[in-house]
Amino acid sequence: MTSVVDEYSVRPARPDDYEPIVAVVDEWWGRPMIRDLSRLFLDHFHTTSLVAATDELPLAGFLIGFPSPSDPETAYIHFVGVHPGMRRAGLARDLYERFFTTARFTGRTGVKAITSPDDTGSIAFHDALGFTVGDTVADYDGQGLDRVVLRRAL
Ligand SMILES: CC(C)(COP(=O)(O)OP(=O)(O)OC[C@H]1O[C@@H](n2cnc3c(N)ncnc32)[C@H](O)[C@@H]1OP(=O)(O)O)[C@@H](O)C(=O)NCCC(=O)NCCS
């Protein structure tokens, strides 16, 4: 069966993807997210980040991730987002699996991500991809910003 998600392409991100990404993150997440997505992520980590596009949607989805410069065993995924019209059809899973392949190639044995304890969609997504969901860490990102650590072996 052919579905719309069979028709996307995936490429490495570029620095100039920053503007179209920040233009949609608040809408895609349903809350203010721009503060957590500085331009530096596209300027300095674009080669290991990914953008998916269709003929109709130049930004169908994206993943921002990188091998940790400080922990040689770990790759880190900072953001993943999929256009609301493209969800629940495997696009984010595909972006993650492509990222995992690259991360293994660079010798990484684990992948880490962080999310908010009340972001049930993100937690369910990561659980479905085999991540373990840690306990809530109070004030992880500063006062009042509790977070959950998500980890998966590669
Ligand atoms: C979370 C998000 C990236 C998932 O993208 P997606 O392309 O719809 O995810 P997939 O279709 O690849 O789903 C992969 C698995 O996760 C599960 N999943 C995805 N979103 C889910 C949700 N909201 N609730 C429960 N499970 C979910 C799917 O059922 C699937 O499991 P399966 O393969 O066992 O059936 C997307 O909903 C999104 O962009 N949300 C807003 C941004 C966000 O919260 N990003 C994550 C934090 S950075």
Q: What is the pLDDT of residue 74?
A: 98
In short, whether 91's Cβ falls inside 6 Å of ligand 1 is yes
Using CA positions, which residue lies closest to atom 47 of ligand 1? 122
SS3 assignment for 116-129: CCCCHHHHHHHHHC
CA distance 87 to 23: 18
- What domains can you pick out in the chain, each with its CATH number? 4-153 (3.40.630.30)
pLDDT of the residue at 5? 56
Q: What is the pLDDT of residue 128?
A: 98
Q: Is the CB of 96 under 6 A from ligand 1?
A: no
- Map tokens 């880190």 to a residue: 76
pLDDT of residue 6: 59
In the prediction, which pLDDT does 1 show? 42
Ligand 1 atom, smallest distance to 94 CA: 12
Q: Token digits for 152?
A: 């998966």
Q: What is the pLDDT of residues 27-63, one digit of tens each?
A: 999 999 988 999 999 999 999 999 999 999 999 999 9
Please give the backbone phi and psi of residue 119, each rounded to the nearest 5 degrees, phi first: -90, 80
Ligand 1 atom nearest to 61, measured from its CA: 39
pLDDT at 2: 42
The pTM score is 0.95
Centre of ligand 1 to C-alpha 5, Å, is 14
The beta strands (E) that lie in 68-131 are given as 74-82, 110-115
Secondary structure (3-state) at 112: strand
Give per-10-residue mean pLDDT for the chain (154 aa): 68 98 97 92 98 97 98 98 96 98 97 96 97 96 96 98
pLDDT at 63: 98
* CB distance 37 to ligand 1 below 6 Å: no
Q: Determine the distance from the C-alpha atom of residue 109 to the mean position of all C-alpha atoms in its chain, rounded to a whole number.
A: 18
pLDDT recorded at residue 151: 98
